[in-house]
Chain A
Amino acid sequence: MMSTATPLADSRPAAPAEALVLDSVTKRFSAAGREVVALHDVSLQLTPGTITGLIGPDGAGKTTLMRLAAGLLWPDEGTVHVFGLDMRHHGHQVQASLGYMPQRFGLYEDLTVQENLDLYADLQGVPHAARTARYRELMRMTGLAPFTSRLAGRLSGGMKQKLGLACTLVHPPGLLLLDEPTVGVDPVSRRELWQIVDRFVREEGTTVLLSTAYLDEAERCDDLIILYEGRLLGQGKPDVFERPLEGRTFKVRLQREHHNRSLEQKLSTLPEVVDAVIQGDAVRIVLREPSAVEAIHRALDPLGVVDIEAVPPRFEDAFVSMLGTRGRQDADKPDHDNSSETATDGTQPPRSTADVDLRIPTTDDTRPVIEVRDVKRRFGDFYAVKGVTFDVARGEVFGLLGANGAGKTTTFRMLCGLLPASEGRLVVAGIDVRRTAAAARARIGYMSQKFSLYGTLSVAQNLRFFSGAYGLRGRRRAARIRWAMEQFQLTSVANSNSGALPLGYKQRLALACALMHEPEILFLDEPTSGVDPLARREFWHRINALAARGVTVLVTTHFMEEAEYCDRLAIMVEGEILALGTPSQIKERARTAERPEPIMEDAFITLIQSRREQPARSGEAKREA
Chain B
Amino acid sequence: MSRIVALITKEFLALLRDPRSRFVIILPPIIQLIVFGYAATYDVTDVPFAVYNECPGDQSRELLARFEGSPYFRHVATLTHEEQMAPLVDRRDVLLVLHVGPQFDRQLNTGGVARLQAIVDGRNSNTALIVLGYVQDIVTNFNLQRAGRGGVPAVPVRLEIRSWFNPNLVSRWFFVPGIVGLLTLVVTMLVTALSVAREREQGTFDQLLVTPYRPWEILVGKAVPGMVIGTLEASFITAMAVWWFRVPFNGSLVTLYVGLELFILSAIGVGLMISSLSVTQQQALLGAFLFLVPAIILSGFATPIANMVPLVQKATVVNPMRYFIVIVRGVFLEGTPAHLLYDQFWPMALIAAFCLTAAAFLFRRRLY
Q: Which residues of A contact B (CB under 8 A)?
A: 379, 416-419, 438-439, 441-442, 444, 446, 448, 450, 452-457, 461, 464-471, 473, 497, 513, 523
Q: Which segment of B8-16, B128-136, B346-354 sits at the interface?
A: B8-16
Q: Which residues of B contact A (CB under 8 A)?
A: 2-3, 5-7, 9-10, 13-14, 17-18, 202-204, 206-214, 366, 368
CB-defined contacts of B3 to chain A, threshold 8 Å: 468-471
Residue contact B213 to A452, C-beta cutoff 8 Å: no
| Complex-state Cα separation, A320 to B309, whole angstroms | 76
| Complex-state Cα separation, A457 to B3, whole angstroms | 17
CB-defined contacts of A438 to chain B, threshold 8 Å: 212-214
Known: A452-B204, A454-B14, A456-B13. A441 touches B210 (CB 8 A): yes
Residue contact A456 to B18, C-beta cutoff 8 Å: yes
Q: Which of B9, B13, B211 contacts A470 (CB 8 A)?
A: B211
Smallest beta-carbon distance A184→chain B, Å: 16
Most B CB within 10 A of own CB, among A419, A456, A471? A456
A467-B6, A497-B17 given; name 17 further pairs at CB < 8 Å: A416-B210, A417-B209, A418-B209, A418-B366, A438-B214, A441-B211, A444-B210, A452-B203, A452-B206, A452-B207, A453-B207, A454-B204, A461-B10, A465-B7, A468-B5, A470-B212, A471-B212
Q: Which of B7, B18, B210, B214 contacts A418 (CB 8 A)?
A: B210
Q: Which of B17, B206, B210 contacts A456 (CB 8 A)?
A: B17
Smallest beta-carbon distance A472→chain B, Å: 8
Closest to A525 in B: B206
Smallest beta-carbon distance A332→chain B, Å: 30
Residue contact A473 to B2, C-beta cutoff 8 Å: yes
CB-defined contacts of A441 to chain B, threshold 8 Å: 210-212
Smallest beta-carbon distance A446→chain B, Å: 4
Q: Which of A439, A469, A497 contacts B211 (CB 8 A)?
A: A469
CB-defined contacts of B214 to chain A, threshold 8 Å: 438
CB-defined A-B contacts under 8 Å, sample of 14: A418-B209, A438-B212, A441-B212, A448-B203, A452-B202, A452-B206, A454-B13, A464-B6, A468-B3, A469-B3, A469-B212, A470-B212, A471-B3, A471-B212
CB-defined contacts of A469 to chain B, threshold 8 Å: 3, 6-7, 208, 211-213
The A/B interface has a contact count, at CB < 8 Å, of: 81
| Complex-state Cα separation, A513 to B6, whole angstroms | 14
CB-defined contacts of A450 to chain B, threshold 8 Å: 202-203
| Complex-state Cα separation, A565 to B17, whole angstroms | 40
Residue contact B210 to A417, C-beta cutoff 8 Å: yes
| Complex-state Cα separation, A126 to B214, whole angstroms | 59
Closest to A449 in B: B203
Residue contact A379 to B368, C-beta cutoff 8 Å: yes
CB-defined contacts of B212 to chain A, threshold 8 Å: 438-439, 441-442, 469-471
| Complex-state Cα separation, A470 to B208, whole angstroms | 11
| Complex-state Cα separation, A163 to B315, whole angstroms | 51
| Complex-state Cα separation, A62 to B5, whole angstroms | 44
| Complex-state Cα separation, A442 to B209, whole angstroms | 11
Known: A418-B210, A446-B207, A446-B210. A455 touches B6 (CB 8 A): no
CB-defined contacts of B368 to chain A, threshold 8 Å: 379
Residue contact A453 to B206, C-beta cutoff 8 Å: no
Closest to A450 in B: B203
CB-defined contacts of A470 to chain B, threshold 8 Å: 3, 211-212
CB-defined contacts of A456 to chain B, threshold 8 Å: 13-14, 17-18
Smallest beta-carbon distance A271→chain B, Å: 39
Residue contact B13 to A457, C-beta cutoff 8 Å: yes
CB-defined contacts of B2 to chain A, threshold 8 Å: 468, 471, 473
Smallest beta-carbon distance B148→chain A, Å: 74
CB-defined contacts of B203 to chain A, threshold 8 Å: 448, 450, 452
CB-defined contacts of B6 to chain A, threshold 8 Å: 464-465, 467-469
Residue contact A461 to B5, C-beta cutoff 8 Å: no
Known: A468-B5, A469-B7. A453 touches B204 (CB 8 A): yes
Residue contact A461 to B204, C-beta cutoff 8 Å: no
CB-defined contacts of A448 to chain B, threshold 8 Å: 203, 206-207
| Complex-state Cα separation, A444 to B207, whole angstroms | 11
Residue contact B7 to A468, C-beta cutoff 8 Å: yes
| Complex-state Cα separation, A461 to B17, whole angstroms | 11
CB-defined contacts of A466 to chain B, threshold 8 Å: 211
Smallest beta-carbon distance B81→chain A, Å: 65
Closest to A499 in B: B202
CB-defined contacts of A419 to chain B, threshold 8 Å: 366
Closest to A420 in B: B364
CB-defined contacts of B13 to chain A, threshold 8 Å: 454, 456-457, 461, 465
Smallest beta-carbon distance A466→chain B, Å: 8
| Complex-state Cα separation, A454 to B10, whole angstroms | 9
Closest to A464 in B: B6
Smallest beta-carbon distance A501→chain B, Å: 14
| Complex-state Cα separation, A36 to B84, whole angstroms | 72
Smallest beta-carbon distance A469→chain B, Å: 4
| Complex-state Cα separation, A20 to B203, whole angstroms | 41
| Complex-state Cα separation, A439 to B214, whole angstroms | 10
| Complex-state Cα separation, A523 to B206, whole angstroms | 13
Closest to B210 in A: A446
Smallest beta-carbon distance B32→chain A, Å: 25
Residue contact B209 to A455, C-beta cutoff 8 Å: no
| Complex-state Cα separation, A439 to B212, whole angstroms | 7
Known: A438-B214, A465-B6, A468-B3. A457 touches B14 (CB 8 A): yes
CB-defined contacts of A457 to chain B, threshold 8 Å: 10, 13-14, 17
Smallest beta-carbon distance A513→chain B, Å: 8
| Complex-state Cα separation, A442 to B368, whole angstroms | 25
Most B CB within 10 A of own CB, among A448, A450, A454? A454
Smallest beta-carbon distance B211→chain A, Å: 4
Known: A468-B7, A470-B211, A470-B212. A418 touches B14 (CB 8 A): no
| Complex-state Cα separation, A468 to B204, whole angstroms | 16
| Complex-state Cα separation, A39 to B212, whole angstroms | 46
| Complex-state Cα separation, A438 to B207, whole angstroms | 13
Smallest beta-carbon distance A578→chain B, Å: 25
| Complex-state Cα separation, A590 to B2, whole angstroms | 54
Smallest beta-carbon distance B187→chain A, Å: 19
Smallest beta-carbon distance B213→chain A, Å: 7
Closest to A469 in B: B211
CB-defined contacts of B366 to chain A, threshold 8 Å: 418-419
CB-defined contacts of A453 to chain B, threshold 8 Å: 204, 207
| Complex-state Cα separation, A418 to B366, whole angstroms | 9
Closest to B18 in A: A456
| Complex-state Cα separation, A23 to B206, whole angstroms | 48
| Complex-state Cα separation, A453 to B203, whole angstroms | 8
Q: Closest 3 A-B residue pairs measured CB to CB?
A: A468-B6, A442-B212, A452-B203
| Complex-state Cα separation, A464 to B213, whole angstroms | 16
| Complex-state Cα separation, A400 to B90, whole angstroms | 78
Closest to A443 in B: B212
| Complex-state Cα separation, A588 to B203, whole angstroms | 38
Smallest beta-carbon distance A581→chain B, Å: 28
Smallest beta-carbon distance A504→chain B, Å: 18
| Complex-state Cα separation, A419 to B365, whole angstroms | 8
CB-defined contacts of A471 to chain B, threshold 8 Å: 2-3, 212
| Complex-state Cα separation, A452 to B202, whole angstroms | 7
CB-defined contacts of A454 to chain B, threshold 8 Å: 10, 13-14, 204
Most A CB within 10 A of own CB, among B206, B366, B368? B206
Smallest beta-carbon distance A405→chain B, Å: 14
Closest to B21 in A: A456
| Complex-state Cα separation, A473 to B2, whole angstroms | 7
Closest to A447 in B: B207
Smallest beta-carbon distance B206→chain A, Å: 6
CB-defined contacts of A416 to chain B, threshold 8 Å: 210
Smallest beta-carbon distance B3→chain A, Å: 5
Smallest beta-carbon distance A556→chain B, Å: 14
Smallest beta-carbon distance A463→chain B, Å: 11
| Complex-state Cα separation, A450 to B205, whole angstroms | 12
Closest to B214 in A: A438
CB-defined contacts of B210 to chain A, threshold 8 Å: 416-418, 441, 444, 446, 523
Smallest beta-carbon distance A344→chain B, Å: 30
